[in-house]
Each structure stands twice: as structure tokens, then as C-alpha cells.
């Protein structure tokens, strides 16, 4: 075991950190979990892990003794600019991302999927298509369970291919992490509350290609500029018909052949989901799975909740829950996927996103805006010259206002365009509340 006897510090006591600590201990390391956040570790969690031989340092003491560690494994929630990470970097202790640490503990092939939007949907579809093709895959990473937790699982030996959703936070600290297939879905400004600018965010995501060679594959949206890659590149696009996978007349085409009936053969809505499917099909094809097998498998697939989810139809109005739209690119994609103009409910936490950039899209796709959350007033100011706008104090008030503003049979789209933490504990809670409010209308 490569970590036998090593002194390893795990930075962050969240889901990924605790899983990495357990994995490090299993690999024979001496492990200390360090967390300088105000919340600390729950007493029961502390007791159980201490019984497993894992030590804790919290608060200011988390920084003590950093230079004695031989490796620091960093959770995605820990910013590399934070005091906790800096004390290790300044002491020249190697700092490794949790996904890379988990990856070092096995030799199975890995599919890594990133993008500003669509990661979870694509990850689910890749997992489904690989398993349908007889290659058992389990998804992990930014999706579902931590990668370290998957590697720890008693049935991990039966997994043939690992499917990973990877965020920029998880890619920041990779050193030698090298996926067999990397997937780049799209890119747009996001997380500007963590990164100094768009360029820094882009550089973090682009690290997914850092260690790939000519033996590996990169599945890339042809409308994204990712530069010259060393890996073998396969492209996809719903707009660019020169891409290897492209969309024509509701069909997905590959090398002159229609390989999947997207429009009538799947339950996916919006061209952005067609692109997600293209990326998943490309991965499956690289892995040798027949298109007929994949088309059959995808027919019954429904995207995860809160992603252009049709909640219901009330008095002729469709209510669509797109609470997962936590950035401008997701909001723009959601709007472009609508055939006719909608009443839009948007807003939430102020992440410093330039909403004025969407003025023309909003003007062409929206008849009325109801703004909520921390940015409601600035959102009204940004768009009021393009479309009638009003602010609401709560989501329930916003749904009432949107319903009143809608014309006969018009769709009400809830696509916030930013994160939820000003009003909710996450986009799931936000979407669940929207669904509950709509259900009470029926």
C-alpha cells in the first residue's frame, strides 16, 4: 500500500474529507482530519472516527503541526487560498485533491465529466449506458457519494468503470490525476465568489486535460474553446453540424448515421439535454457499446429533479422547475430551450454574476419577470428596460405574481440563474418548495 505509515492530513471534515480520512486509514496511513471552520465536527462523528484511529484538529489548532505531514488531502470545499490550505502549501507539503487520492487507490478506468452545467444529468446517463452495455459502472465524485467512499465500498471490486462528476473545486488540486476519458460539456462564468475572475475558474476546470496523453480521449463541446489537447478528441454540438455528434431534425447523428432519436425516443427536454446525451453516447461508443443498446437504455431515462422538470399543468399553464440553474449559462440554456415566450421567476444569492448580459435573450424569450432573493432589486434594474419586471419577497409570492402575469396557456419557468443560499439550504430545497407551491394550486 503506497500510503502505509505516511502522516496524512485531510483538510475539511465534510462528506469528502471524512471518506478520504477513512480511506487513508485503510491504506495504512496515520491520519489527522483538520477543519478550521466554525461548525466543527459532530460529537458522534468525532467519537466514531477516533475509535477508527483518526485524530482531529479543529479551529485555530487545525493549523498546528502542518509541516510534519507528508501529504495533505484537500476536500473540494476548502479553497486553496484559505489559511488552512496555505499553511501546508507554504510548508511545501504536497496538497492533493480528494479525487486524486481516491484514484491512486485503484487501477480501474475512469470517465471524468465536467462543465458549468449538465454534469449530473450526463454522469447519470453515462453510468446507465455503460451498465446497459455490460460494463458495470458506479457514479461518484461531485455526484452522489464521494469518490473515496466508493473506493472504500465492499462491492467496489465488481465495478468495472468509474464514472466521476468533477467540479472545478475538485480539479484545483490535482497533481497527476489522469482520466481515461474526459468530458467537457460547456463553460460559462460561475463561482466568481470563489475565483478571482473567469480566467481562474476556466483554468481550474481545464485541469481535467492536464495529464492526458494520446492514449486517452477527450469528449468536447465543439462550441467551447479548450485549445489544443494531447488526447484523442471527439466533438459534439446541438448547433455545429460539423461536430462528430450533432443534432438534425430531432435525431442525433454520428459519422453520417442517425444513432439516436432524441426528440421522440427520449424523455429529455431542451437542446442542452440533447448535448448531454451526445456526450454520454460518445463515451459509450468509445467504450465499445453499440448505439442500438444505448438508444434502448436511454428511452426510459428521466433527468434528475430540478432540471427543466415539468411539475404540472394548472389552468393551462405549465410550471417548470429548473432550480438547478444556479448560473447564467444554465438560465440562458433553459430560456433557449423554450419554444415560446415564458413568464420567468429568477433570482437568489448575489454571486457577482453579470445578469445584464442576458438582456437580449430575456427580451426574446420572456414576457414578464418576477425577481426574488438577494439580487431581486438589481435583477429588476438589469432587465427592466427589456421586459416588464417586478420583485417578490418570497417564492410563494413570486409564483402568485407569475401566474397573474401569464397569458392563456403560457408557461411559468422557475430558473433562478444563481445559487439559493440566501433563502434556502440548497437548490433542492428551493425546487422542492416551488413544487409544493405549484401542487397547492392544482
On whether both 429 and 360 belong to a single domain, the answer is: yes
pLDDT of residue 41: 67
Q: Is residue 303 part of a domain?
A: no
Sheet with strand 7-11: strands edge to edge: 54-58, 30-35, 7-11, 71-74, 95-97
Residues 6+ apart with CB under 8 A from 163: 111, 113, 123, 126, 127, 130, 137, 138, 139, 140
What's residue 48's pLDDT?
81
For residue 11, is it within any domain?
yes
Cell of 138: 458506479
The domain boundary, picked from 41, 71, 93, lies at: 93
Percentages of the chain per state (helix, strand, coil), in multiples of 5:
35, 20, 40
3-state secondary structure (DSSP) of residue 371:
strand
**Structurally, how many domains does the chain consist of?**
3
User: Does position 338 have pLDDT exceeding 90, yes or no?
Assistant: no
The number of C-alpha atoms within 13 Å of 194 and in the hemisphere containing its C-beta is: 16
- 214 vs 57 pLDDT, higher one: 214
CA 73 to chain centre: 21
Q: Average pLDDT, whole number, for the chain?
A: 94
- Tell whether the model's pLDDT for residue 353 goes beyond 90: no
For residue 193, what pLDDT band results from cuts at 50, 70 and 90? confident
Helix (H) or strand (E) holding 16: helix 15-26
Domain residues for the domain of 76 are 7-93
- On whether both 324 and 430 belong to a single domain, the answer is yes
Answer with the one of 48, 70, 93 that is the final residue of a domain: 93
The reported pTM is 0.83
Task: Return the CA Rg of the chain.
Answer: 23
What pLDDT score does 192 carry? Answer: 72
CATH number of residue 49's parent domain: 3.40.50.720
Distance, in Å, from the CA atom of 298 to the CA atom of 302, rounded to the nearest integer, reads: 9
Half-sphere exposure of 240 (CA within 13 A, CB side): 14
Q: Which helix (H) or strand (E) holds 369?
A: strand 366-371
Predicted pLDDT at 281: 98
- CA gap 163, 158 in Å, rounded: 14
Per-residue CA distances from 241 to 237, 253, 258, 327, 357 (Å): 7, 9, 13, 27, 26
Q: What is the mean pLDDT of residues 230-238?
A: 97
Judge whether 437 and 401 are in contact, CB under 8 Å. Answer: no
The pLDDT tens digits of the residues spanning 7-50 come to 999 999 989 999 999 999 999 999 999 998 876 666 777 788 88
- 40-72 confidence digits (pLDDT tens): 666 777 788 888 999 999 888 999 999 999 999
Residue 67 burial (CB < 10 Å; 0-12/13-18/19+)?
exposed
Which stretch of DSSP H or E encloses residue 295?
Answer: helix 291-298
Decide the pairing of beta strands 181-184 and 412-414.
unpaired
Boundary-marking domain end, from 39, 64, 93: 93
Range 111-116 average pLDDT: 96
User: What was the pLDDT predicted at 43?
Assistant: 75
Same domain membership, residue 392 and residue 318: yes
Amino acid at each position: 500500500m503506497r500510503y502505509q505509515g505516511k502522516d496524512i492530513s485531510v483538510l475539511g471534515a465534510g462528506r469528502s474529507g471524512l471518506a478520504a480520512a477513512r480511506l487513508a486509514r485503510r491504506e495504512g496511513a496515520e491520519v489527522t482530519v483538520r477543519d478550521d471552520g466554525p461548525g466543527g465536527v459532530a460529537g458522534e462523528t468525532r467519537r466514531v472516527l477516533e475509535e477508527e484511529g483518526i485524530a482531529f484538529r479543529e479551529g485555530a489548532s487545525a493549523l498546528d503541526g502542518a509541516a510534519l505531514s507528508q501529504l495533505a488531502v484537500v476536500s473540494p470545499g476548502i479553497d486553496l487560498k484559505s489559511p488552512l490550505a496555505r499553511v501546508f502549501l507554504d510548508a511545501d507539503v504536497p496538497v492533493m485533491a480528494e479525487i486524486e487520492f481516491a484514484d491512486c487507490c485503484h487501477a480501474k478506468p475512469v470517465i471524468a465529466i465536467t462543465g458549468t452545467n449538465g454534469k449530473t444529468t450526463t454522469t447519470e446517463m453515462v453510468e446507465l449506458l455503460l451498465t446497459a452495455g455490460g460494463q458495470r459502472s458506479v457514479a461518484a465524485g461531485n455526484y452522489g457519494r464521494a469518490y473515496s467512499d466508493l473506493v472504500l465500498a465492499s462491492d467496489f471490486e465488481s465495478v468495472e468503470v468509474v464514472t466521476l462528476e468533477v467540479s472545478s473545486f475538485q480539479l484545483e488540486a490535482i497533481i497527476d490525476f489522469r482520466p481515461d476519458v474526459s468530458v467537457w460539456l460547456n463553460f460559462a462564468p460561475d463561482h466568481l465568489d470563489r475565483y478571482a475572475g473567469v480566467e481562474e475558474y476556466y483554468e481550474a476546470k481545464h485541469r481535467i486535460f492536464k495529464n492526458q496523453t494520446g492514449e486517452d480521449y477527450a469528449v468536447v463541446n465543439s462550441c467551447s474553446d479548450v485549445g489544443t489537447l494531447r488526447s484523442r478528441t471527439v466533438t459534439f454540438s446541438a448547433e455545429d453540424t460539423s461536430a462528430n455528434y450533432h443534432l438534425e431534425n430531432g435525431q442525433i447523428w454520428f459519422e453520417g448515421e442517425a444513432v439516436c432519436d432524441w426528440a421522440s425516443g427520449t424523455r429529455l427536454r431542451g437542446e442542452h439535454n440533447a448535448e448531454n446525451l451526445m456526450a454520454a453516447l460518445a463515451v459509450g461508443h468509445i467504450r465499445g457499446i453499440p448505439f442500438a443498446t444505448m438508444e434502448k437504455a436511454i428511452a426510459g431515462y428521466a433527468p434528475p429533479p430540478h432540471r427543466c422538470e415539468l411539475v404540472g399543468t394548472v389552468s393551462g399553464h405549465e410550471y417548470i422547475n429548473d432550480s438547478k440553474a444556479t448560473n447564467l449559462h444554465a438560465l440562458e440554456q433553459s430560456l433557449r430551450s423554450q419554444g415560446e415566450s415564458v413568464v420567468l421567476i429568477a433570482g437568489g444569492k448575489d454571486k457577482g454574476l453579470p445578469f445584464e448580459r442576458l438582456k437580449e435573450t430575456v427580451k426574446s424569450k420572456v414576457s414578464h419577470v418576477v425577481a426574488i432573493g438577494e439580487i431581486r432589486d438589481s435583477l429588476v434594474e438589469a432587465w427592466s428596460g427589456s421586459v416588464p419586471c417586478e420583485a417578490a419577497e418570497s417564492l410563494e409570492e413570486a409564483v402568485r405574481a407569475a401566474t397573474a402575469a401569464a397569458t392563456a396557456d403560457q408557461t411559468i419557468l422557475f430558473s433562478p440563474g444563481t445559487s439559493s443560499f440566501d433563502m434556502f439550504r440548497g437548490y433542492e430545497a428551493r425546487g422542492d418548495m416551488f413544487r409544493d407551491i405549484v401542487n397547492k394550486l392544482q
